[in-house]
Structure 1
Amino acid sequence: MTLAERARRVIPGGVNSGQRSIPGFTDLVIARTRGSRFWDQHGREFTDYHAAFGPAVLGHNDPDVAAATAEAGTTLALAGVGVTEAEVALAEELTALVPSLEKVLLTSTGSEATFHALRVARAATGRDLVVKFQGCYHGWHDAVSLNVISAPERVGTKDPTSTGILAPVLDATLVLPFNDPEAVRRVFAEHGRDIAAVILEPVPHNVGALLPTDTFLRTLREECTKAGTVLVFDEVITGFRHGLGGYQEICGITPDLTTLGKAIANGAPIGALGGRADLMDLFSTRPGGPAFFAGTYNGHPQVVAAALATLRKLREEPVHEHIYRLGARARDGLAALYRELDVPAVVTGFGSVFVTYFMDGPAPLTYDDLLANDAARFIGVRRALTDHGIFELPLNLKRSHVSYAHTDDDIDRLLEATAKAVRTVLAEGTPTDLAHTSTMGGAQR
């Protein structure tokens, strides 16, 4: 019996998160990770552009982060009371770096951070409604677990990602198209006095990369300010991967609350919620605060040590310069490749993130634009890439990442392997199991 078979006997589906079991890769067992690569149980080596949905901005098993984590484990265990010096240092670091953060609380996951953001927004405003956008993912909790990667016929309706969500919870969430300022103005004209929060990924990376327009983001800020609504930027993906100040520093729009995760600790389990002091002081961590906040593992010493080491390296070394340059090389090289092969494709992304949509036209701005993507070809090319030692997650619309550990040689191999994979797919046609694929994917970050 293989290890994967043993896993399926005792773990539902054989994996511990919803999108780790990939069609066509049901026997994938990861044995080792290092730098820009991972190895499976058979010793096969893959250059990893998936990178666990992107937290390892420094690369897998970064030696400085690993050393800091190990050192913390020799001096501190989880006490579950009071605060540690390292927690204070991390909070000071985060508030100094991210424009919107006046105070900050640590969580163990990004989903917890977005959950608490909506809870405190409702506590502050006394309102019920939340606005989210089609294609944006904000975690597994009921209020926002809808309308991420939706089938065409479900766009414009409530499209929950799971059964078991109460209808009244879904009814309290309004879903709008991304990059549509007129839709934002209309919803505030009709419901403004009842909207507690607007939450969005400033760059919706859960569907690849939809870049926001300046008009859209400014309209959100203006309408939320006028209505007294809390504007929440979910920067769980964009925070620290795109810059030390998050995407909000890049775009010049300051939200009221910000959620963070992923790249804070290079893959260690951490999230954060921060923002205006008056909002953050509503949490029960301050005596008398009406919005309950708790988490046994919040601020775990080893995770905090990983975060401090990660941020130190992001500050002191040319990490963003390196990953931005390689990201641009990947996007430019892929675009040239598809032109040479005469394959309809749009290569887009931001910074260290890249994605190829198999469709005609300019870079997409809305989820509706993405419905033109040839999902079967998207998945088929990524499956074929694994035959050449390259791993990009073979699920529709998922983005890819470069890290500080990737090199120019890695990008060269990516481009060479992609050329071979595309030629294979063109020659052999769409695999039978992908022939009718339209919106395979799901909602995990």
Structure 2
Amino acid sequence: MSVVDAVSTERSRAWDAEARKLIPGGVNSSTRKIDPPMVFERASGSRVWDADGREYIDYHAAFGPIVLGHCYSKVDSRVVETLGKLDIVGLGATELEIALARKLREHVPSAEAVHFCNSGSEATYNAVRLSRAVTGRKKLVKFQGCYHGWHDYLCMNIITPADKIGKPDPGSAGMMPEAIENTLVLTFNSVDELEETFRTQGSEIAAVILEPIPHNIGCVMPEPAFLQALRDLTTKHGSLLIFDEVITGFRHALGGYQSICGVTPDLSTFAKSMANGYPVAALCGKSEYMHRFATGGGDVFFAGTYNAHPLAMAASLATIEALESGEVYRHTFALGDRVRKGLQEIVDRLGIKAWATGFGSVVLLYFKEPGARNYTDLLACDMAADVSFRRGLLERGSLVLPMALKRVHISATHTEHDIDLFLEHAEDVLSSSRS
């Protein structure tokens, strides 16, 4: 019997009905909507519980921030300790933000200087503004399938229908036409497209921004030649290279994916796993660019009442300290390998066309033949089968997002037993789909 079948959903539905009276759609982010509705009350380690008492093993991890586990004691204790002596002042600086900036400079190759804000979208917005000020240019290059936040500059061409590939695909009504027109969308891993774009428009391009691993469409790995071409071409044409490491940063390595691939961007954005779920983000970059901000005497405005909030700084410091031994990465990467291997063995045995892939603690199952260099390759996926698989996992007690192409996350508090249960749930769902 599934978890959903075993317990009434009455309280969750009642809370959802109340939420819909007060909050549009009952949720505060578009990607949180789910049917049947879910309302959560408690979280600890690798588990979460909803309003009806249903227990789930959490592989969603709030889209990735939970790298250590829910309510991780060393992080929460540091936050409580800080709360007992300091809240927001709004003038000057705190020792906490200085210490955290020092940590980022220690670990992140591109972090000669650091600014803190509250979300990945804020960080990428400021990176774009800075790049335009530095270069005096308007155009941006992004890649199909990459997501960089909700602002007009980059909220486009993410999960794009096949008939709109190669065309502007705005993510929202109300976006400024000028923003859309000045954003060029290219194919990930295509050196040819990149070279041709710079040959014809290089003098107009302020920056190229990308997720070094496009995790918003699962896990498409970058080819080394592509990353090197990005670095070479932006340098040659005087454009800035921005790595959006909001997802990859601190989940894959303390120095972000840039420390793994060996390509150092001009600017980088971080958030999510930096504070194990507390709201924080960072924009890092070369000093010559970062000191263009008004805070450093330049002419690019940077502000925010809650920037570098002491609680977020404390949570970030505690999270990074927990990651520094390397044990979390050894544990989560090993479990990730086990999940990928287990899923592939199941689908091969059942004769299902699917490919288990991912990187480190990120895992997913694409319902297609192995191999993908870009978003267009993923259009071959059986999206309906993907969603059905995820819904089946959710019904059995493995919390995942029931949306195609989305990733599974493993945290430090997941155990071998948790992985056994996940693979049992997966095999049960997939076997049922064959009957």
What interval of TM-score do these two structures reach, taking the shorter chain for normalisation?
A: over 0.9
Percent same amino acid among aligned pairs?
Answer: 48
Q: Which residue of 2 aligns with 1:331?
A: 340
Partners of 1:250 and 1:200 lie apart in 2 by 16
SS at match of 1:241: coil
Residue pairs, 1:215-230, within 5 angstroms? 215-230=225-240
Choose from 54, 59, 72 the match for 1:62.
72
Question: Which amino acid letter does the alignment assign opposite residue 25 of structure 2?
Answer: G
Partners of 2:365 and 2:371 lie apart in 1 by 10
Q: Which residue of 2 aligns with 1:134?
A: 144
Q: Which residue of 2 aligns with 1:72?
A: 82
Residue pairs, 1:94-109, within 5 angstroms? 94-109=104-119
Q: Which residue of 2 aligns with 1:302?
A: 311
Structure 1 residues 45-74: Cα deviation after superposition (integer angstroms, max 9, x where no partner): 111111100001001110000100011000
The answer as to whether partners of 1:177 and 1:366 remain within 8 angstroms in 2 is yes
Q: Which residue of 2 aligns with 1:436?
A: none
Q: Which residue of 1 aligns with 2:24?
A: 12
Q: Which residue of 2 aligns with 1:382?
A: 390
Q: How far is 1:422 from its partner?
A: 1.2
Partners of 2:304 and 2:413 lie apart in 1 by 33
Q: Which residue of 1 aligns with 2:257?
A: 247
Q: How far is 1:392 from its partner?
A: 1.3
Residue pairs, 1:203-242, within 5 angstroms? 203-242=213-252
Residue pairs, 1:148-297, within 5 angstroms? 148-287=158-297, 289-297=298-306
Q: Does 1:368 align with 2:376?
A: yes
Partners of 1:386 and 1:122 lie apart in 2 by 44
Q: Does 1:315 align with 2:294?
A: no
Q: How far is 1:317 from its partner?
A: 5.4
Structure 1 residues 23-82: Cα deviation after superposition (integer angstroms, max 9, x where no partner): x23x21011111111111111111111110000100111000010001100000100110
Q: How far is 1:346 from its partner?
A: 1.0
Q: Which residue of 2 aligns with 1:437?
A: none
Partners of 2:373 and 2:70 lie apart in 1 by 32
Partners of 2:199 and 2:411 lie apart in 1 by 43
The answer as to whether partners of 1:384 and 1:424 remain within 8 angstroms in 2 is no
Gaps of at least 5 residues in structure 2 are 1-12
Q: Does 1:356 align with 2:368?
A: no
Partners of 2:261 and 2:105 lie apart in 1 by 18
Structure 1 residues 254-289: Cα deviation after superposition (integer angstroms, max 9, x where no partner): 0000000001100000000011001000001123x1
Q: How far is 1:363 from its partner?
A: 2.1
Partners of 1:194 and 1:133 lie apart in 2 by 17
The answer as to whether partners of 1:348 and 1:363 remain within 8 angstroms in 2 is no
Question: Which amino acid letter does the alignment assign opposite residue 187 of structure 1?
Answer: T
Partners of 2:424 and 2:371 lie apart in 1 by 24
Structure 1 residues 303-346: Cα deviation after superposition (integer angstroms, max 9, x where no partner): 10000000000013511111100011011110111101110001
Partners of 2:305 and 2:381 lie apart in 1 by 43
Q: How far is 1:387 from its partner?
A: 2.2
Question: Which amino acid letter does the alignment assign opposite residue 291 of structure 1?
Answer: V
Partners of 1:195 and 1:8 lie apart in 2 by 43
Q: Does 1:412 align with 2:420?
A: yes
Structure 1 residues 182-230: Cα deviation after superposition (integer angstroms, max 9, x where no partner): 1000000000001000000000000000000001101100000100100
Question: Which amino acid letter does the alignment assign opposite residue 110 of structure 2?
Answer: S
SS at match of 1:348: strand
Q: Which residue of 2 aligns with 1:402?
A: 410
Partners of 1:249 and 1:8 lie apart in 2 by 44
The answer as to whether partners of 1:385 and 1:417 remain within 8 angstroms in 2 is yes
SS at match of 1:143: coil
Q: Which residue of 2 aligns with 1:423?
A: 431
Partners of 1:109 and 1:184 lie apart in 2 by 29
Q: Which residue of 2 aligns with 1:31?
A: 41
SS at match of 2:90: coil
Partners of 1:297 and 1:412 lie apart in 2 by 42
Partners of 2:423 and 2:95 lie apart in 1 by 46
The answer as to whether partners of 1:136 and 1:200 remain within 8 angstroms in 2 is yes
Q: Which residue of 2 aligns with 1:434?
A: none
Q: Which residue of 1 aligns with 2:14?
A: 2
Question: Which amino acid letter does the alignment assign opposite residue 112 of structure 2?
Answer: E
The answer as to whether partners of 1:235 and 1:246 remain within 8 angstroms in 2 is yes
The answer as to whether partners of 1:239 and 1:260 remain within 8 angstroms in 2 is yes
TM-score, with normalisation over the residues of structure 1?
Answer: 0.94
Q: Which residue of 1 aligns with 2:399?
A: 391
Gaps of at least 5 residues in structure 1 are 428-445
Partners of 1:422 and 1:336 lie apart in 2 by 12
SS at match of 1:349: strand
Partners of 2:397 and 2:419 lie apart in 1 by 13
User: After the TM superposition, which segments of 4 or more aligned residues of structure 1 sit over 4 Å from their partners?
Assistant: none
SS at match of 1:81: coil
Q: How far is 1:426 from its partner?
A: 3.0
Partners of 1:11 and 1:390 lie apart in 2 by 27
